[in-house]
Amino acid sequence: MNFELSEKEALLQKKVREFAEEKLLPGVIERDETSSYPIDLYREMVDMGLIGLPYEKEYGGQGGNYLDYAIAVKEISRVDASLGISFSVCTSLYGGSVYNSANEEQKKKFLKPVLEGGALGSFGLTEPNAGSDAGGCVTVAEKKGDHYVLNGAKCFTTNGPLCDYIAVYALTQPELKSKGLSLFLVEKGTPGFTIGKVENKMGIRAAQVSETIFTDCVVPAENLLGKEGDGFKIAMKTLDGGRIGVAAQGLGIAEGAFEIARKYLMKREQFGKPLYKNQYLAFKMAELECVIDQARLMLYKAAMDKSEGRPYSIAAAKAKLLCTNAAMQVTTEAVQMLGGNGFMKDYHVERMMRDAKITQIYEGTNEIQKLIISGALFK
Ligand code: CAA
């Protein structure tokens, strides 16, 4: 068992960290204030090969694995968690939905533009009355000859307002409830597919999140991914991978805030000595270092379990729980350790604290992760 990153993984981490610090850091405060999504910076991430990291080359991927992907999401989120989630939604939730269900032709058609072409993908599962209870969707897809007609609305769709492709879960047999869910690929510009309310959020403010609405939206039958009725299981499998992405996002936020606090404690002097010479603060950092380390180990285990073909649902749930709780804890403590400065936007940690909160909520609340973990304990 080797707990160190390989030379190749360490190099990837270094490359993404340098990109994030050089390119993402300068405008991150402004993007948060103005809720503006940096599509050009996102496209630079695509050109670096980040979005397709864990997929095979024939689908526009890089032939890497989920650990590479987790490292990259972490490093992006260390500086800009909004781009971190946008990346994760394209790779894990959109990419995963297609990869886990589509035939060869569909995979090439719908993965390549997102993984290597700079198109944005999104994931339409959640509805106003189907959040934690994902199987409670009411969006329907009625088969009519060689097409389906979709009617309904999804909410909280990350990348929604900008997306070129959306993986939409809709009922083909409403009477079967979640067992009647099927997956469809809807392209931007399809008549009847519109964007509703764009959300004004507490955190990840540069990420674009909206309602996505389907009104008599005609989707060709060849855009059904997988079989009718497979949708719920495809969504669950896809979310297992997505949780590794959100865990990586949480860990990145935690690492970013920790580093800001560490440097601050070394530089800032009060009562004639640097702050870290107060044992209370040094011990606080020791505790946070342990919180981050355990979260990182769990994330890397979940990512390697997935990459090497072992069951990973439970490990992904544990990683999501630990990493996102670490994000909340470390950012909250960092704001406190930086005192008045921590409350000010220039020091970044207040934004990181706001960004951290959603990681405990989306892609399955942390209560849902506990349900999954405890469910496996008492089978
Ligand atoms: N992989 C494959 N199949 C799975 C599975 C998995 N991980 N989990 C469950 N299934 C299967 C079960 O085996 C079962 O199959 P059978 O009927 O053949 O036995 C079927 O799915 C139903 O399973 P459950 O009875 O366990 O389903 P449930 O309705 O009780 O729900 C749940 C389980 C875990 C609570 C699920 O609803 C869930 O994950 N909820 C949270 C939803 C969520 O994460 N939403 C995130 C939205 S996306 C988002 O947040 C994106 C963003 O903006 C960034």
Number of Cβ within a 10 Å radius of residue 7: 8
- Ligand 1 centroid from CA 312, angstroms: 14
Angstrom distance (rounded) from CA 81 to CA 358:
10
Q: Does 211 qualify as catalytic in the annotation?
A: no
pLDDT in tens, 127-176: 999 999 999 999 999 999 999 999 999 999 999 999 999 999 999 999 99
What is the atom index within ligand 1 of the atom nearest the CA of 364?
44
Q: Chain-wide mean pLDDT for the chain? A: 98
- Written as one letter, the residue type at 375 is G
Angle at 353 between CA 70 and CA 133, to 5 degrees: 65
- Ligand 1 centroid from CA 311, angstroms: 15
Under 8 Å between Cβ of 53 and 69: yes
Q: Stretch 293-314: mean pLDDT, rounded?
A: 98
pTM of the model: 0.98
pLDDT given at position 58: 97
What is the atom index within ligand 1 of the atom nearest the CA of 239?
44
- Ligand 1 centroid from CA 339, angstroms: 42
* Pocket-testing residue among 123, 201, 233, 361, ligand 1, by greatest number of atoms within 8 A of Cβ: 233
pLDDT given at position 251: 99
- Ligand 1 centroid from CA 234, angstroms: 9
pLDDT band per the 50, 70, 90 thresholds, residue 2: confident
DSSP string for 195-232:
EEEEP--SS-TTS-EEEEEEEEEEEEGGGEES-TT-HH
Angstrom distance (rounded) from CA 373 to CA 314:
6
Domains, the chain, with CATH or none:
7-115 (1.10.540.10), 121-229 (2.40.110.10), 232-377 (1.20.140.10)
Q: Which residue lies with its CA nearest to atom 3 of ligand 1? A: 233
Cross-strand pairs, 183: 169, 225
- Written as one letter, the residue type at 139 is T
Q: Which helix (H) or strand (E) holds 152?
A: strand 147-158
Under 8 Å between Cβ of 269 and 275: yes
Question: CA 130: distance to chain centroid?
Answer: 19
* Strand stretches in 159-204, DSSP E: 165-171, 181-187, 193-198
Under 8 Å between Cβ of 192 and 216: yes
pLDDT in tens, 235-255: 999 999 999 999 999 999 999
pLDDT in tens, 188-239: 999 999 999 999 999 999 999 999 999 999 999 999 999 999 999 999 999 9
Q: Tokens standing for 377?
A: 């304990």
Q: Per 3-state DSSP, what percentage of the chain is helix, strand, and coil (rounded to 5)?
A: 60, 15, 25
- Written as one letter, the residue type at 254 is A
On the question of pLDDT at 1 being above 90, the answer is: no
* Pocket-testing residue among 232, 236, 244, 313, ligand 1, by greatest number of atoms within 8 A of Cβ: 236
